[in-house]
């Protein structure tokens, strides 16, 4: 569910409530919420108690809370709480529209803060999760990120993101362009919705070979992805239903702006031809078949 704009909306909301706050007590309510924390949920909660939040950061679809140093850990090795929302994760802060969540059927974790508020993590499908980690250098050596995220590439909103370099990396892949866009190690933050929107904007069919696309075309796909995610962020992200909401329990409004995603058999907003739904990589892709021409079978498109 949540892609970069939705996760960034959550990050901003969390930062407003968590920075400067200390965790009084933490509780895990479902075993899967801490499955990435090797020592388990009880250990996670014990270690979180007493920690003070310094900042909330993000790369791609991952969030992390940076804690104030305990002892003499160097600044670039500090402890963090890493979070991923998976398909249906939500962070909520009490005092918002949601009221008391302690009996919510999807409550997986919560923590009381020193201002009396509760931070709650709800997750219907339990693909999301939390883990304690520490900072370390990323693969490019450009930014301190949680050690478990070292393999994730920079996202388009990071200062270290170099569109030309990323375009070249994409072009080296002998794979379909949509598959490469969804590979978080190349560029992070893009999911199924914004991949389809970016490819539509750039008039590129998702099954085209990344290797055979002209460099300027790949660049235009990257620029389109950046633009569409920036526009979505301005509107608080994309919400189809109550599964995606910000920390106050409110929906985003970008759904009404989507050009192709979820618009099967409706008219392309550019040329009016019907939007088609393709089954691709075990998921759905939405394309305008007039604007986005498929690779010709005889073109040696996928060598």
Partner DNA sequence: ACGGAAACCTGCTGGC
Partner DNA sequence: TGCCAGCAGGTTTCCG
Binding site for DNA (CB under 7 A): 1-3, 6, 32, 60-62, 84, 86-87, 105-106, 124-127, 172-176, 179, 182, 184, 191-193, 237-241, 243-244, 279, 281-284, 302
Active site residues: 2-3, 61, 283
**Cβ closest to DNA, residue 2 vs residue 13:** 2
Q: How far is the CB of 27 from DNA (least distance, A)?
A: 19
**Cβ closest to DNA, residue 80 vs residue 193:** 193
Q: End-to-end CA distance of the chain, in Å?
A: 33
**Cβ closest to DNA, residue 139 vs residue 302:** 302
Q: How far is the CB of 115 from DNA (least distance, A)?
A: 30
Q: How far is the CB of 211 from DNA (least distance, A)?
A: 7
Q: How far is the CB of 116 from DNA (least distance, A)?
A: 29
**Cβ closest to DNA, residue 111 vs residue 191:** 191
**Cβ closest to DNA, residue 105 vs residue 216:** 105
Q: How far is the CB of 6 from DNA (least distance, A)?
A: 6
């Amino acid at each position: 569910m949540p892609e970069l704009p939705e996760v960034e909306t959550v990050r901003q909301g969390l930062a407003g409530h968590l920075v400067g706050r200390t965790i009084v007590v933490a509780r895990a309510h479902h075993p899967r919420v801490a499955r990435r924390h090797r020592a388990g949920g009880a250990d996670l909660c014990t270690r979180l108690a007493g920690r003070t939040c310094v900042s909330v950061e993000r790369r791609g679809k991952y969030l992390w809370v940076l804690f104030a140093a305990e002892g003499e850990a160097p600044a670039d090795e500090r402890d963090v709480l890493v979070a991923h929302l998976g398909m249906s994760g939500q962070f909520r802060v009490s005092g918002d529209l949601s009221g008391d969540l302690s009996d919510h059927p999807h409550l997986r974790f919560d923590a009381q803060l020193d201002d009396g508020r509760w931070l709650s993590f709800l997750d219907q499908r339990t693909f999301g999760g939390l883990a304690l980690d520490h900072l370390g250098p990323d693969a490019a050596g450009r930014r301190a990120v949680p050690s478990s995220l070292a393999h994730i590439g920079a996202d388009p909103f990071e200062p270290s993101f170099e569109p030309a370099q990323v375009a070249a990396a994409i072009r080296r892949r002998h794979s379909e362009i949509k598959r490469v866009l969804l590979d978080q190690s190349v560029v992070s933050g893009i999911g199924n919705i914004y991949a389809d929107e970016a490819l539509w904007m750039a008039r590129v069919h998702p099954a085209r070979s990344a290797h055979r696309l002209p460099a300027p075309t790949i660049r235009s796909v990257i620029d389109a992805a950046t633009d569409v995610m920036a526009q979505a962020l301005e509107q608080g992200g994309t919400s189809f239903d109550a599964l995606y909401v910000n920390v106050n329990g409110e929906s985003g409004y970008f759904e009404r702006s989507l050009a192709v995603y979820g618009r099967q058999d409706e008219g392309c907003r550019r040329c009016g031809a019907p939007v088609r739904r393709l089954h691709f990589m075990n998921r759905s892709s939405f394309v305008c078949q007039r604007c986005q021409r498929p690779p010709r079978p005889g073109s040696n498109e996928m060598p």
